[in-house]
Structure 1
C-alpha cells in the first residue's frame, strides 16, 4: 500500500473519531436539556462513552490489521528480497492477516530453499567448468603445437605456452587473454581462412558423416619465423558459429632443412658429375682399346675403383650428416577442389572484377595445396 493511501486512511479514521465525539457531545447536551432525572442523564452519557470507546477500538483494530500488519508484511518482503532473506513475520492481528503472514513465511522458506539449491547448482557448475578448463589447459600445455581459442571478433579466449613462445617478440608479450589475434597473425590470412570455413560449414549442415571443417595457411610471427596455421571453427548447441581454434606449428626449421637439402643436392650433383665422368672416361678407354697393355688397363681399373670408393664415401658421409634434412618434407594440406576453385573465383572477381565461368567439378576430388599462398 502506498504512503498516500495510508495517510488518507489515517485521516479518514481521525475524521470518523471526531464525528463520533461530536455526535456524542450533541447527544449528551440533548439529554441534559430534556432530562429532568440526573440518573437518566448519567446513564445515557455512560452509554455514549462506551459507544465512542468501542468505535475507537474498532478503528484501532482496523488500522492495525489492515494497515500496520500488512505494512509489516511488505517490509519483511523487501528484506527477504534484499539483505536479510531469513527475516520472518510473526502471525498476529486479524485472523485473515495472520493466515496471510503464515503463507508469507511458508513462501519465504521455500524461496530460501530454492535460492540455496540454485546457489549449490551454480557452485557445482562452476566447479565442473573449472575442472574441465583445467583439464583442457593441461592437455593444451602438453601439445607441441601452439593453440589459440578465439571468438568471432578475434579476441583470444584461451592459449597455451606453445602459442605464446611462437608469437611473442623478443622481450615483448603479444599473446594474452582478451587481446586481439590480429595483433599476432595477419588479419587478411585470418579473414581468408574464416571465409573459407564459414562457406564449408554452411555446405556441410545437415550432411551425415561430413568431414570436420578446417583450413590452413602459412604466416609469419613477430620474430620472423614462418608458422603453418590451421583454423577450425566451433559452434554452440544451436549450430551457430561462436569462434575458432587456431593451431600453430613452427615451419622455419623445416624450411631451413629444405634449403640445406637443396644446397646438398646441388653439391652432390657437382661432385658426382666429376666422379661419374672420370669413371665413364676410364670405362670408354678400356672398351675402345681391348688390346691395351695390362699395366695401362690396371691404371684405368684403379681409377674406376678409387672414384667409386670416393662416391660411396661421399654418400655415406652425406647420409650421416644430413639424415634429418633428407627426411624433411614440405607438408601441404588437403583441400576440396570445389573450395579451391571457389577461393580462386572469389579472388579474381574481387580483385580483377571479371566473371569466371566454371565447368563441372568432380565432388570427389581433393588436392594438396596451401590455398592462401596460391591465391
Structure 2
C-alpha cells in the first residue's frame, strides 16, 4: 500500500492545503525576485515587506479555509465512514444529525437513506431467518429437555478432546473436579489415559472395518477417575463419524459416578471373605468335637463334659458371627435399594395428597420443624398412608398429627392421635403383612421396614396422646443453612452445545490462528483504588468465555475477593462494593488459581487491559500464579479502528454499537465483563473488514497504537 494511502483522510487534506499554501507563497517569492531584477535593488525593502505580507495572507487564508473544510467536511466524512463501517460490519450505528453534515449536500441524506434501507433489509432478513429456523429451535428445545432429564452424564468431544456438548447431569458429576465448558479440554476434569486408550482402539476398529461385525460396534467401555482422583466414573465411549461415514469426527461419552457402587462391591467381597474365614474355624472345631463325641473314643465324664462345653461355646460364637454377618448383609441390601435425602414436609404432603384420593377423608396436621431424612420416599409414603388409614378404620378417628424429630443417629416419624385404643403388636404385625398397593406389586409393609432396617412400635404418651413411631436414617448429606452456604450450587442453565467446533482443525500457533477460531476469556476487576503499586487490591474479579464467536453467558466466573484492607468510601460510590460484602470472601491467593483454571489456554480480553493485568502481575510472587495468555485490549483495538480522538470509554463504545448496560450492572465486574465481551465481538467484525483477521495482526495493531500513545505522552 502506498504511503499516501496509509494516511488518514484528514491528514491528506491538510497536506493538500499545505501544498497550496507553500506553492502560492513560492510563486509570490519568484514573482518578487523577477520584479526585483527589472526595477533594481532600491525597491528591495518594499518588495520584501509587501511580499511577506502577501505570503502571510496566503498562509492565513489557506489555514482558515483548511480549518473550516476540516471541521465541516473532512471530520463529518470520517464520522460517516466510522458509522457506516459500524453499521455494515458490526450491525450498529448512530448516523449523523442534519447539523453535523449540513455542508455535505446530499451526501448525508443519501447515507441516511442507504443506512435505513440496509437496516430494513437486515430486519426483513432476520424475520425470514426467524421463521425458517423456528422448527429447528423446536427440535433444539426437545434435545435440551431430553439431555437435561437424562440420569447419566453426556459429553460430546472432537478428536482434540475439546468439549462440544454437555448436559446438566455431566455438570453435576464433573463440577466437583473442575470447571466444565465448551471448547475446553476433557482432560481438565477427567484422567486422560483411559480415553486415549479407548479412542485408539475404536479408531483402529473403524479403520479396519471390524466395527461392522464387532458386537459393540463403535462403542467401548471406559472406566476413569476425575482429575482430582476422588471419584470413579464408568461409561461408554462411542465414535462419531462424518456424514459420509468415511472418517471419525469426534466421540460421545455417557457415564455415571460409580464410586459408591464400587465401594459397596469391595465391602461385599470383603464380607464374603470374612464370612468364610470366620466360619471355617468354628465349623472345623465343631466337626472335630462332634466326631470325638460320636466316635469310638472312650472318654471319661470330665473330658466329655469339657467337649460338650466347647460345642456350646463354639455354637454360641458361631451364632453371634452369623447374626453379625446377617446384620451387615441386611444393611448392604438396604443400601443397595434406591434411596435419597428427602425433606419431611415433602414426605408428609405426599401422604396427604395420597390420602385425599381415598374415600376415607382424614385431616392430618403437620407439627414441629421439618427436617431431612434418608429413605425410599415412594414406599415410605405408601407405608405411612397405609398405616394411617388402618388406624383411622380401627379407631374411627379422623384427626391426626404427623411429626418428624431427630434424636441421636435416628429420625423418627411419629403419627399422633388422641384416644384410648392402642393397637396391639399382633394387630400392627397383621397390617404389615398386607400388600400396600397393587401398583407396587406384592410389596408389604414388612418388606418396606426390612429394606429400611427398622420397625414400627406404638406407645402412649402424656396428655392422652398415642403415637406410632417409625425410626428412619438421617440425611446422608448435610442440609443445614450453613452447609448450603458452603456448598456451591450449580447454575440452572440450558444445555450448551456447539457442533461447529467439530470442524476445527489443529489450531497450531495461536498467533496465526483466525480470531474467530480462538477461545477468549473476557474479564474485568473491581479494586480498592487505581494504584496497584501503591497498595490497592482486587475486591472482585469476573470473566466470561467466548467460544466460536459466541458469548457463553452460562459459563462465567464471578468472585468477591477479601482485600485485607478497608475499601475507601469514594471507591464504594463507584462500584457499590462494601467491606461487609467481601468480609467472608476468599483471599486473592485462593481466587487466582481458580480464575487461571477458568482462563486455561484462552486469549484474555479486557477494556484497558494494562490496568487489570498490572494487578494480576503484582500477585505472581505471593500466589505463584503467572498468566502467560495472550492479551487483547478493546481500548487499543477501538483506537486502531476509530482513531485516537474518538471516545473510547466502555459506555461510549457500548452506545455506538447499540449495547445496553443495565444501570445496576455498570461498574460491577460481571456487568462490565459482559458489556466488554459484546463490544469485543463487534470490534472483531470491524477488524476483519479492515484486513486484520489473525491474533498476530491484532497484536501488531495494538502495539502500533500503544507506541503512538507512549510518544504522545512525552509531549
| Larger strand share, 1 or 2 | 2
TM-score (norm 1): 0.48
Which protein has the larger Cα radius of gyration, Structure 1 or Structure 2?
Answer: 1
| Larger helix share, 1 or 2 | 1
TM-score (norm 2): 0.27
